[in-house]
Amino acid sequence: MIYAIVFLPLVGFLIAGALGPWIGARASELVTTGLLMVCAVLSWIVFFDVALGHDHGYAPIVGNWMTVGALKIDWALRVDTLTAVMLVVVNTVSSLVHLYSIGYMHEDPDRPRFFAYLSLFTFAMLMLVTADNLVQMFFGWEGVGLASYLLIGFWYQKPSANAAAIKAFVVNRVGDFGFALGIFLVFQLTKSLGFEEVFAAVPGLAGKTIHVFGMDVDALTMAALLLFVGAMGKSAQFFLHTWLPDAMEGPTPVSALIHAATMVTAGVFMVARLSPIFEYAPTALEFVTIIGAVTAFFAATVGLVQNDIKRVIAYSTCSQLGYMFVAEGVGAYSLGIFHLFTHAFFKALLFLGAGSVIHAMHHEQDMRNMGGLRKDIPFTFAMMTIGTLALTGFPFTAGYFSKDGIIEAAFAAGEHRTTAMIGFVATVVAAGLTSYYSWRLVFMTFFGHRPAHSVAVNHSHDEPSTDDHAHGHDDHGHDDHGHHAPHESPLVMLIPLAVLAIGALGAGYVFEPDFAGHAYDEFWKGALFTGEHNEILHEMHAIPAWAGFAPTAMMVLGFLVSLYVYVLKPGTAQALARIFPRLYQFLLNKWYFDELYDFLFVRPAFAIGRLFWKGGDGAIIDGLGPDGVAARVADGARLAVRLQTGYVYHYAFAMLIGVAAVVTYFVAGGLR
Amino acid sequence: MPFFVQLAHHFLPETILAVGVMVLILIGAWRGERGFGLVDEMAVGILALALVAIALSSTPDTSVFDGAYIDDGFSRFMKALTLIGAIASILMSVDWLQRSGLEKFEYPVLIILSTLGMLLLISADNLIALYLGLELMSLALYVMAAFARDDGQSSEAGLKYFVLGALSSGMMLYGASLLYGFAGTVSFAGIAAVVSTSAPIGVIFGLVFVLAALAFKMSAAPFHMWTPDVYQGAPTPVTAFFASAAKMAAVAITARIVVTAFPGVKDQWRQIVVFISIASMLLGSFAAIGQENIKRLMAYSSIGHMGFALIGLAAGDEAGVRGVAIYLTIYLIMTLGTFAAILAMRVQGRYVENVSDLAGLSRTNGWMAFFLAMLMFSLAGIPPLAGFFAKYYVLLAAVDAGLFGLAVIGVLASAVAAYYYLRVVKVMYFDEPAPAFDRAPMAVRAVLAVSTLALLGFWVYPTPVMDAAAAAAKSLF
């Protein structure tokens, strides 16, 4: 069954990718979507078997990949509760996104390519989550990076999409470099890369130091930190987050699948999978906590002022990933995965809802040009509201259980560690900010009035699509682009919204006992490792009542402020921006990270490149090599030609000089 | 040995030429301008007869005329090359002279007289005979350079060559008188006996002056200055003669004099030869870059090639002289072929001589482009063409003689020189076509094709040349 789950998307990719031009767009859509539906159903079966049932998991070996000395790497499909959770998340969201894309992309001429990429991504993600060793995980890790690159740059005619794709790829290089170094170090320490062997060897390595750059550092901390750098890149954590907002250049279903629900959570998954290593590296865990806390807070602040509907959600994703790392940093891996699980539902819902809004507005993404849409697209409005409630942690929605659990765990751990308390403060504040910007999005989009000019500008087609509206347009509700009344999306796009909405509402309540409650042990069956002093899941229930209510209070506060600013007294936001121009600009420009990196890395890299190009290659190698020799030859040629004056007495003189030189040579030699 | 026996056995080619040229002068004087065709054909016949006489001659090495003259394998080999050069020059020149209004009977007469001088020079065995041959050769060449007397460039070339030639003759006589003064003899063997171990500085002085004069004749740096101007200014067939036959004689006598008259001071003359060789190779390689006139280009090319030939001489042993002999053979073929191609460069009745006129030749005249390209590759020394083996054998001799520096400089210089040869190929094959050439006369096309095929075929069957060169070198030691 696991073979089918992992390889059916690959089959879909090969069919749509290789045969797409022959079988046509419709067939490509149906094949890939159908296969993913099968995968999703099978994934749930595996989930019930392994996670909820009594199956302890298995890891069938598909084949040997490479054997070099002590390095032996197999292709294996590891299935345990953690994998089962990820399978469910990935395949459910992926199949719904496939389905949704049939409607969303129906105007695009390159649909076979699009669906092929989506299936390729799904396959790579499944390889990642079923990996039984670090190298296979790296394979999947790079595979999803490739698919992400291809999909961000799907509209390759757009320069901004290409730039965003390259940026995502390059920033992920930094993280992957750390990941690779981490893998090397783990192999150096344990002489193995298979999870079972590595985890078995880790306890014996506690306290071991290695000599790096003249310092003795704890080996496991070093390894964990390097591996975490990889997670930071993939999960867009602080310092390496800059690619994620730009990745919104890709089609919206891609944003939902890759940049909200699955790929960006690979870092969270990786830390959870490697929990046996991180548990023995407490310093690394504190670092994870700090990074997560800073990201949660930072991304939430930037989200406050963004005007692009997708960018708001992108920063929200960034922020929520920070929550997950805070949970893992304080040792509550299961809460991190739980939040990953619920977040996949409501964030995919929000993205697909935003896609529906964009679709309705004819590819308008700027919220300032929206407003009052709740009457035009009521279903989308309802779904977006559900997603927002879940994201902000409205009681008994999915986000309420997972997010508040994280905040409580952070508070509980804060009694031992300062970093965890920082995490607590940051996440509580971020909860309020999250509520504010989420409701801001809803209010700006669905309430108030649409600016009069929005109709005029909204056909600029930010997302290029064929203007060939003559075919396949029946489900669009209108054939005439002369009037641009917003319209509800087709059913094929609304069904995924409904399914995700169910998850966003119920996933928390249903699975809370399993992920983090009393059924913890029966559910995880040791897939997550916690040290013997790690009692975080018990301690978090013993915290003061005010700490437990804090996030809910912040959520209400954020909602009220947003309501006041955008509904009750419109214009307040502009006034605030005028009163605090510097702060506003600071946030609007994303804390100037892009500018900082441009100054720190991009331009120096260009300068170094130019130095080597002009100086190293051009001046030294070419200059002293081919060009220089050629130039000297040309000089020599000019000199030789200049000697040829045409005057007979010059010629005679040259002859006599020649004789004189030779004679002088011999006379001098004779005297000596 | 009776005088007539000497004439008949060891002086036969020269006798044929000397008698023949007097007959030609009579015919010319009798028939005037109309006699050109007849004289020309007879001249070819006379030269061919001399060549046959050499080919059939198999007498052992003999000194005749009281030691003034020697008939040996080396001289026969070189004379054969010289005669081939002269014959080809006359054959190629007919059409050119007629089209240029220069169909005068003096032209073949002068070539035969000059060739006679060359043969005397090659076989000279004392200083008097050397000077006699040298002057006979040169006086005819001066006149030939100025043969297009209504053309300013040609007259200038002739005058320059004459003035500078007079200077070099003066050097030759000065050096010869020094040698005689110190050695007490003009015979090469006598000089060799006197300076068998060490030489007084006066002898070295004399040697330097003699070698300078000979280097002038073979146009080796730094005594080459006349070459580009004369090659460019002289009528093209004359240039072909200069570049082919004249070089053979000059190099041959240089080799003979240093090997037979100065074996005792080999270290000294080797230094002079190395100096001239390096200077010639470098100058020939560098100065040719950027030349637009292909005759001028070939002038520098010939300077460079003389430098290469001298590498073999610098080795100073039998292998070295064998290398020189091979080099000269192949150089002669390459030069004749190239000048045949230059003589075929005629656009609508007008002769052109710029490299740019060859542009796109591959599309207007594929065969000629191919032949010329092969010639250029060979001149550049690219295997498997004959030019590569020419360089290979002289470099081999130099390395065996321990002259590593000279060999390295030679290789580098040939790399630089490859640039301007390959540029010609590039112009022919990759540039936009220039106006097509007129159909070349039969003789020119024949020379071009035969020489190219000889170069292409050398690596398949080099034995005749190799054996003859080896025999020639052997006779000198």
* Assigned token pair, A672: 């000596």
Report CB contact under 8 Å: A667, B201: yes
Give the range among A47-61, A617-631, B196-210, B313-327 with minimum mean pLDDT: A617-631
Residue A313 pLDDT > 80, yes or no? Answer: yes
Is A660 an interface residue toward B (CB < 8 Å)?
Answer: no
Spell out which residues of chain A touch residue B161, defining contact as CB-CB under 8 Å: none
Number of helices (H), then strands (E), belonging to chain A: the values are 29, 4
Q: What is the DSSP string of A144-207?
A: HHHHHHHHHTSSTT-HHHHHHHHHHHHHHHHHHHHHHHHHHHHHHHHS--BHHHHHHHHHHHTT
Q: For residue A211, what is the enclosing H or E element?
A: strand A209-212
**Residue B313 pLDDT > 50, yes or no?**
yes
Closest partner residue to B228 (CB to CB) among A644, A662, A665 is: A644
Is the per-residue pLDDT at A524 higher than 70? yes
Residue A479 has pLDDT above 70, yes or no: no
Predicted local distance difference test score (pLDDT) of residue A670: 56
Give the model confidence (pLDDT) of A317-328 as tens digits. Answer: 999 999 999 999
Compare CB distances from A662 to B167, B208, B221 and report the shortest one's residue. Answer: B208
Task: Report which secondary-structure segment, H or E, holds A72.
Answer: strand A71-76
CB contact under 8 A, B289 and A644: no
Q: Which residues of B sit within 8 Å Cβ distance of A?
A: 159-160, 163-164, 167-168, 171, 201, 204-205, 208-209, 212, 216, 221-223, 225-226, 228-229, 268, 271-272, 275, 282-283, 286-291, 416, 419
- Judging contacts by C-beta atoms under 8 Å, the chain B residues touching residue A663 are 205, 208
Q: Which residues of B touch A655 (CB under 8 A)?
A: 164, 167-168, 171, 212, 216, 222-223, 225
Min Cα distance B266 → chain A (Å) is: 13
Instruction: Answer yes or no: is pLDDT of B133 > 60.
Output: yes
Q: Kindly tell me if the per-residue pLDDT of A532 is higher than 80.
A: no
Contacts with B286 from chain A: Cβ below 8 Å: 633, 636-637, 639-640
Give pLDDT, residue A456.
41
As a 3-state breakdown, chain B gives helix, strand, coil percent values, each rounded to 5, of 80, 5, 20
In total, the C-beta contacts within 8 angstroms joining chain A to chain B are 76
What span, in angstroms and rounded, lies between the C-alpha atoms of A381 and A384?
5
Chain A's closest residue to B290, CA to CA, is A637
List the one residue out of B223, B325, B321 whose CA is nearest residue B266: B321
Q: Determine phi and psi for B251, rounding to 5 degrees.
A: -65, -40
Residue, of B285 and A67, whose pLDDT is higher: B285
Interchain proximity B268–A652, CB inside 8 Å: no
**Range with the lowest mean pLDDT among A220-234, A445-459, A582-596?**
A445-459
Q: What is the pLDDT of residue B290?
A: 76
DSSP state of A341: H
Q: Which of A15-24, A91-100, A296-305, A375-384 has the lowest mean pLDDT?
A: A15-24
Verify whether the Cβ–Cβ distance A670 to B201 is below 8 Å.
yes
| Number of Cβ atoms within 10 Å of the Cβ of A139 | 18
What average pLDDT score do residues A639-668 get?
85
| pLDDT over threshold 90, residue B171 | yes
| Chain A contact set for B416 (CB, 8 A) | 633
Q: Which residues 6+ apart lie within 8 Å of A371 measured at CB? A: A444, A445, A446, A447, A448, A449, A450, A451
Residue in the block written with tokens 């045409």: A646
Nearest chain A CA: its distance from B241 CA (Å):
22
Partners of B289 on chain A (C-beta within 8 Å) are 633-634, 637
Contact A659 B204 (CB under 8 A): no
User: Are A469 and A357 contacting, i.e. CB atoms less than 8 angstroms apart?
Assistant: no
Phi–psi pair at A511, nearest 5 degrees: -100, 0
Would you place residue B160 in the very low, low, confident or very high pLDDT band (cuts 50, 70, 90)? Answer: very high
Please state which of the ranges A539-553, B174-188, B437-451 shows the lowest mean pLDDT.
A539-553
Q: What does B316-342 look like in DSSP terms, one character per residue?
A: -SHHHHHHHHHHHHHHHHHHHHHHHHH
The pLDDT of residue A473 is 37
Share of chain A above pLDDT 90, in %: 28
Residue A471, pLDDT > 80, answer no
- Work out the average pLDDT over B279-301: 90
Residue A547 has pLDDT above 70, yes or no: yes
pLDDT (0 to 100) of residue B445: 92
**A605 contacts chain B (CB < 8 A):** no
Q: Distance between alpha carbon A280 and the CA centroid of its chain, in Å?
A: 27
The two three-digit tokens of residue A310, written as one number: 């997708």
Cα of A613 to nearest chain B Cα, Å? 27
Question: To probe the interface with B, which of A662, A667, A671 has the most B CB atoms within 10 Å?
Answer: A662
pLDDT winner (highest mean) among A408-417, A464-473, B317-326: B317-326
Residue of B nearest to A655 (CA): B223
pLDDT at A454: 52
pLDDT tier at A462 (50, 70, 90 boundaries)?
A: very low
Q: Which chain A residues contact residue B209 at CB under 8 A?
A: 659
- Say whether pLDDT at A402 is over 60: yes
Residue A640 pLDDT exceeds 80: no
Contact between B280 and B310 (Cβ < 8 Å): yes
Average pLDDT over residues B12-41: 90
CB contact under 8 A, B160 and A641: no
Question: Higher-confidence residue: B109 or A569?
Answer: B109
Using CA atoms, how far residue A219 sits from A174, A591, B377, in Å, is: 21, 34, 66
Of A181-190, A571-580, B428-437, the poorest mean pLDDT is in A571-580
| Cβ within 8 Å, pair A639-B286 | yes
ipTM greater than cut 0.90: no
Contact A644 B288 (CB under 8 A): no
For residues B254-284, b (16+ Cβ closer than 10 Å) or e, as one string? bbbbbbbbbebbeebbbebbbbbbbbbbbbb
* Phi, psi (deg, nearest 5) at residue B100: -95, 5
Residues of A in contact with B167 (CB under 8 A): 652, 655
Query: Chain A partners of B223 at a C-beta cutoff of 8 Å?
Result: 654-655, 658
CB contact under 8 A, A659 and B209: yes
Work out the average pLDDT over A137-162. 91
Residue of A nearest to B159 (CA): A648
B208–A659 CB contact, under 8 Å:
yes
pLDDT tens-digit series, residues A258-276: 888 888 899 999 999 999 8
CB contact under 8 A, A651 and B271: no
Mean pLDDT of A399-411: 89
Percentage of chain B modeled with pLDDT above 90: 67
Contacts of A654 in chain B (CB under 8 A): 222-223, 225
- d(CA A595, nearest CA chain B) in Å: 50
- Residue B116: name the closest of B146, B145, B138 by CA: B138
Instruction: Determine whether the interchain pair A640/B287 forms a contact, defined as Cβ–Cβ distance below 8 Å.
Output: yes
- Average pLDDT of the residues in A418-423: 88
Q: Smallest CA–CA separation between A178 and chain B, in Å?
A: 50
Q: Is the Cβ pair B419, A640 closer than 8 Å?
A: no
Q: Can you tell me the distance from the alpha carbon of A179 to that of A185, in angstroms, rounded to the nearest whole number?
A: 10
Is pLDDT above 50 for B410? yes
Provide, as residue numbers in chain B, all residues whose Cβ is less than 8 Å from the Cβ of A672.
Answer: none
Instruction: Please indicate whether, in this complex, the C-beta atoms of B225 and A651 are within 8 angstroms of each other.
Output: yes
Q: What is the average pLDDT value for chain A, to the nearest integer?
A: 85
Closest CA to A131 of A300, A272, A298: A272
Q: What is the DSSP string of B354-421?
A: BGGGGTTHHHH-HHHHHHHHHHHHHHHT-TTSHHHHHHHHHHHHHHHTT-HHHHHHHHHHHHHHHHHH
Would the pLDDT of B242 be above 70? yes
Burial of A159 (0-12, 13-18, 19+ CB in 10 A): exposed
Residues 623-642 of A with CB under 8 A from B: 633-634, 636-641
Mean pLDDT of A411-418: 85
Q: How far is B392 from chain A (nearest CA, A)?
A: 24
Residues of B within 8 A of A644 (CB-CB) are: 225, 228-229, 287
Give the integer Cα–Cα distance in Å for A567 and A49: 49
pLDDT of B140: 94
The answer to whether residue A659 neighbours chain B at the CB level (below 8 Å) is: yes
* Average pLDDT value over all residues in chain B: 91
Q: Using CA coordinates, name the residue in chain B closest to A630.
A: B416
Phi and psi at A108, nearest 5°, equal -85, 135
pLDDT at position A33 is 92
Q: Which of B281, B289, B301, B423 to mutate to test the interface with A (most CBs of A within 10 A)?
A: B289
B225: which chain A residues are within 8 Å (Cβ-Cβ)?
643-644, 650-651, 654-655
